[in-house]
Structure 1
Amino acid sequence: MKIVVLTSSLSAGGAERVASTLCNSWVERGDQVTLIPTYSGGGVPFYPLSNNVELIYLAARVQGGLGRLSQYKQRFLILRRLIAERAPDVVVSFLPNVNVAAILATAGLKIPVIICERSDPSQQPYTLLWKLACRLCYRFADMLTVQTASVAKSSAVIFPKLKKIRAVANPLPAEVLQYVHVAGGPRKILLSLGRLSEEKQVDRIIDAFSNVCERCPDWDLHIYGDGPLRNEVEGAISRKGLGNRVVLQGRTNEPWKVMAGADAFVMASRYEGFPNALLEAMGLGLPCIAFDCPSGPREMSSDGQYAVLVPLNDQTALSVAMNEVMSDKTFRTTLGAGAKETVLERFSLRAVLGRWDELFKEVGAIR
């Protein structure tokens, strides 16, 4: 099968990670895959990418010295030509701006197009222009995929006249299985890993940790990630006087190694699409705490059976959950073991690839 995959970039985002994982898996089984980042200007992909994936940075094909409008027009025409030349069985695109471009660039080519939303559209602060563009264009895609059943339900209202909408989870990267959870050092680590942005609410994690850290003197909070709120996070740590217990580690390109060395994981997002960090932490056998936000944590944890779900933005409950996990080794062991078992069964790469093949059949890419 010939597949063209479109992304905005190949940076350190969740959509980029999933796109890279899928591309690598498809070429490994013998598919012909072309990956086209449509907006970034090149560079080395953040996530490993097989040499068998044809990688084309669209920006590298655009002539310099043109006005912005002329560049957009040229970019669109080049994208359409690249797709037409490869005559794929299906085009898969990630994220709203790329989705709109994919739909327009394939108009009249009679190539099935599957567009992917990677977060909950009902929670996204899209501009009015992008909301209108998505509402008008998405109906012409052969399928919209989202990551959970709850988002599928809300998306059907937000984007009217969709031909098909299906839920397909992110796969647990196969590389995760190369790491073994080896927690239990003299200083225990509560891990937060994610972008330092408003929706991740890392300040709530710091506040909750400050409420329980005296009762758990052998625990430290390690925060991995970077983003626009880095200064605010540093300020929150300083105001709480937690400089010796809370460590702001910055961004890591070895997230699974970091997870394998932690003792518990916490996430306090206001909303998610399908939080990769939570999935991977569970897959490594970490006991996890998460706000019951839309969407992802409830589906991943089977309604709270395999992670501690905290009512959204309930700060007191978050502190209680932290204390429960951090003070009870037996509970941590049981919770982590159950999390690993369910994730490996439900979200393995093999299971998710099988789901994608079902979607390809639905749109006529596989006969």
Structure 2
Amino acid sequence: MKILFALSSLHAGGAERVAATLTNAWVERGDEVTLVATFSGRGTCFYPISEKARIVFLADLVASTRRSFINRLQRLVALRRLLMSERPNVVVSFLPDVNVASVIASLGLRIPVIICERTDPLVSKKTIFLQLSTYFAYHHARMLSVQTQAVATRMHSAFPRLKQLRVVPNPIPEELQKHPLSLPPRERRRLVAAGRLTEDKQFDLLIAVFSTLAPQWHKWDLVIYGEGQLHQQLERQIQTLGMTGRVTLAGVRKTLWEEMARSDVFVMTSRLEGFPNVLLEAMALGLPCVVFDCPSGPNEITCNGEDAMLVTLNDLQGLTAALATVMGDAPLRIALGSRARESVVRRFSLATVLNKWDELFKEIGAIA
């Protein structure tokens, strides 16, 4: 089967990580995959991609290098030409602007397109133009994929005519699934969080809560992995609260799970997620997790809080109490982590998710 996989960039990020995992799995089983970075500049892949996959940057196929309407139009034409030359059995597209471009580029070519929403589209902020073009894409794609049943239910209510809607979650990368939690005896303990340093992740709330716990839990530190526009603001907050040396902004890591595997508790304070890979990976490692019950992934990933400590969104007292409980109870940490790992490996293993993709491909006629 020939698959053209379109996404915005090949930088660090959740969608890019999933794209790399799926691409590598598909080419290893014999599929031909062309991975297309549509709206980013030229560059390299942040995550490892098999040499068996073909990688195309649309930036290499257009004359204009400036970010402009003309540049985006040229990339749309380049994508259509690529589809006409490649003639894939299916196009898989991630993220709203790429979904729209993939549908428009494929019009009249009789190539089925599966567009994939990576967050809750009814909650995510979009311009009016992107909203209208996204709705156009929903009704002209062969299939729309979302990551959770909760999003699917809301989508069915908002768009009752939308019949071709399926739920396909993210997979656990195989190398992570085989990686055991590594906690050698050491004097200090570590809370770990990860994500882009943006308002949606609410790391400022996490830092504030940890600062209230730090005096009592003097052997615990907080490490936050990621980069973003709020880096300097968060650094100032750390200094103001006297948390220098106790709270660290540790930047981006290609193999984040190796860092998480040396931690004791994972924390997530997002106000909005799609299907948080970092939570899935933390649970797969066997880390006990304390997370806000934000829309739309944590509830389903944690089985309504059975496999993690699920805290009401933005309940800072609840977050403080949950962290204190898990920090002070080593047997609880072990039990929570073990239950989390068993649960997500059973539901989100790479083999399980690949089967769901194959069901989609068969349903739209991409494979027999």
Q: TM-score, normalised by structure 1?
A: 0.97
Distance 1:78 1:301 in 2: 42
Moved over 2 A (4+): 64-74, 155-163, 177-180
Alignment pair present for 1:105 and 2:102: no
Who is 1:201 aligned against?
202
| Residue 68 to residue 237, structure 1, CA distance change in 2 (3 Å) | closer
Letter in 1 for 2:56: I
Contact 1:23/1:33 (<8 A) preserved: yes
Who is 2:79 aligned against?
79
Contact 1:148/1:169 (<8 A) preserved: yes
- Within-5 A mapping of 1:232-311: 232-311=233-312
Letter in 2 for 1:249: A
Give the drift of 1:159: 5.0
Give the drift of 1:73: 3.0
Contact 1:141/1:163 (<8 A) preserved: no
Give the drift of 1:179: 2.7
Alignment pair present for 1:33 and 2:27: no
Distance 1:250 1:332 in 2: 26
Letter in 2 for 1:228: Q
Alignment pair present for 1:46 and 2:46: yes
Distance 2:194 2:65 in 1: 40
Partner of 2:109: helix, strand, or coil? coil
Contact 1:208/1:322 (<8 A) preserved: no
Percent pairwise identity: 50
Who is 2:362 aligned against?
361
Distance 2:283 2:49 in 1: 24
- Within-5 A mapping of 1:147-166: 147-159=147-159, 161-166=161-166
Contact 1:300/1:343 (<8 A) preserved: yes
Give the drift of 1:299: 0.7
Partner of 1:122: helix, strand, or coil? coil
Q: Which digits, 9 at most, give the CA deviation of each residue in 1:285-325, with x for residues without a partner?
A: 00000001111111111111111000010000000000011
Q: Which digits, 9 at most, give the CA deviation of each residue in 1:228-276, with x for residues without a partner?
A: 1112211221221111211111122220110111011000000100000
Contact 1:139/1:159 (<8 A) preserved: no
Distance 2:67 2:264 in 1: 52
Give the drift of 1:190: 0.3
Partner of 2:36: helix, strand, or coil? strand
Distance 2:269 2:351 in 1: 29
Distance 2:100 2:27 in 1: 26
What are the ranges of 5 or more consecutive residues in structure 1 without an aligned counterpart? Answer: none
Who is 2:62 aligned against?
62
Letter in 1 for 2:136: L
Partner of 2:166: helix, strand, or coil? strand
Contact 1:189/1:264 (<8 A) preserved: yes
Distance 2:65 2:167 in 1: 42
Q: Which digits, 9 at most, give the CA deviation of each residue in 1:114-135, with x for residues without a partner?
A: 0001011122111111111111
Contact 2:39/2:72 (<8 A) preserved: no
Distance 2:14 2:281 in 1: 12
Mean Cα displacement is larger for which, 162-171 or 349-358?
162-171
Partner of 1:242: helix, strand, or coil? coil
Who is 2:137 aligned against?
137
Distance 1:159 1:245 in 2: 48
How many residues in Structure 1 have an aligned counterpart in Structure 2?
367
Distance 2:54 2:217 in 1: 51
Q: TM-score, normalised by structure 2?
A: 0.96
- Within-5 A mapping of 1:215-230: 215-230=216-231
Partner of 1:179: helix, strand, or coil? coil
Partner of 2:250: helix, strand, or coil? strand
Who is 1:331 aligned against?
332
Alignment RMSD, CA only?
A: 1.5
Distance 1:313 1:71 in 2: 41
Who is 1:18 aligned against?
18
Distance 1:73 1:199 in 2: 31
Give the drift of 1:178: 4.3
Contact 1:174/1:349 (<8 A) preserved: yes
